[in-house]
Chain A
């Protein structure tokens, strides 16, 4: 941008001040609406009540069971989709022809909201963790497979020819040329897959399940334990943010190596 420097110290401080002010006024508004105003605690609990519940949830360790279920489902779903997506993506990427055959299919399938399969998966796999794992794995398979194809498919031909002409074996070609060249794109695919798997699992737990963080929130909502429900929402959001930050950091590392 022409004119004033974009990142001058004064402007940055002013922006931070506005952000902090925004957050403070949001909480203040919440406080005023519930404590002074006439908003029913059944619709919006008081901020201090939510904080008390959150501390209680954390102190008693009540969250451990549900968190364990959700993380276990996530780990299983991601392991399945990463293995399947990487393998399928690599095999397809071996030939231009197969890339042309499969890429539109994968992109087309990915444009369907895969959450639609949840009722079917519940029918097939039951209400327990299996249906959540299946949904999470299905949803995250597509970005992983597509990015694996894009990663291996975009390796410079000249690098492969050069490595071959210098007499490297098939394994050396894979290990020293293909994987390093494809890794940045694949890392992005894995991160995207992880994010959508997390959302799919929280979503399917919310819609119908017997345990997990999503189920806990719904259970509290149905029993009108509003303050505790808000506490669990804050907890689930914090977990999701932490997981996504970790995934992004790992992605950055994958890109650099």
Chain B
């Protein structure tokens, strides 16, 4: 195994695995599956610009990105406020955190039609559904972060005469930061899921409109191109939040 290790780096093998998968896809699409339903990767990637030139697609991507941003910002702000309110006082933590966890455990997808009914088929329903997914991880991690402050630190701060506001600002808040950023990472993937679910369910102008359109037109090339663009967008967004989390983690331990 050692010789293998020195011969080929894992990164290179990883590349080969990806290329092999693309190769299988290419062969399957060319030889075995009707081209009405599957398109080979070579054609998908060479027609990415055709997807972007489809009237309405750039706007739809911007709308979806905007929905995501709004849902994420709202999730974080609401989650932080509720998380602090639920997590800080011991009594409310014991009383309300179980209720939050109960709601978090429910499959929200079952009430998606209600969101459309209340907020319409435009961006508002996507943002609301995204928030319904993103807010819970923030609440739970913020409440957990507040809870994990070492009692000795609180005691020390109080005995040195810190006011409640000072304890909050100087002790609790800095200690909460790492779990808050972990919560933001969970919130990002959850918001992505919520917004995309709502988009796919019904959409007037977002990307869901075009995934439906390309599916109904039996246009797998453009459908796959759009899916690839969205997947890339998701990877970038998740990467940004993860990097922010790593950075703050290092800042804390330093």
Contact = CB atoms under 8 A, between A and B. Distances in A.
Given A97-B4, A101-B17, A241-B106, A123 B218 contact: yes
Interface in A219-240: 221-222, 229, 233, 236-237, 240
A24 interface: no
A207 B234 CA distance: 20
Nearest to A244: B105
B200 interface: yes
Contacts of B193: 113, 115
A119 B94 contact: no
Interface of A is mostly: helix
B14 A97 contact: no
A115 B99 contact: no
> Contact residue range for chain B?
35 or more
A123 B37 contact: yes
Contact of B113 (A113, A199, A217): A217
Interface stretch (B54-62, B136-144, B209-217): B209-217
Nearest to A12: B94
Interface of B is mostly: helix
Given A108-B235, A124-B33, A124-B38, A101 B10 contact: yes
Nearest to A26: B99
Contacts of A119: 200, 211-212, 214-215, 223, 227
Interface string B27-44: 000000100011000000
B182 interface: no
Interface in A1-47: 1-2, 6, 11-12, 14-15, 18-19, 22, 43
10 contacts: A2-B151, A19-B96, A96-B5, A118-B200, A119-B200, A120-B220, A123-B223, A202-B110, A207-B197, A233-B110
8 nearest A-B residue pairs (beta carbon): A221-B113, A100-B10, A18-B95, A119-B211, A15-B95, A15-B94, A203-B109, A101-B13
Interface of B: 1, 4-5, 10, 13-14, 17-18, 33, 37-38, 90-91, 94-96, 98-99, 105-107, 109-114, 116-118, 151, 154-155, 189, 192-193, 196-197, 200-201, 211-212, 214-215, 218, 220, 223-224, 227, 230-231, 234-235, 238
Interface of A: 1-2, 6, 11-12, 14-15, 18-19, 22, 43, 95-97, 100-102, 104-105, 108, 111-113, 115-120, 122-124, 198-199, 202-203, 206-207, 213-214, 217-218, 221-222, 229, 233, 236-237, 240-241, 244
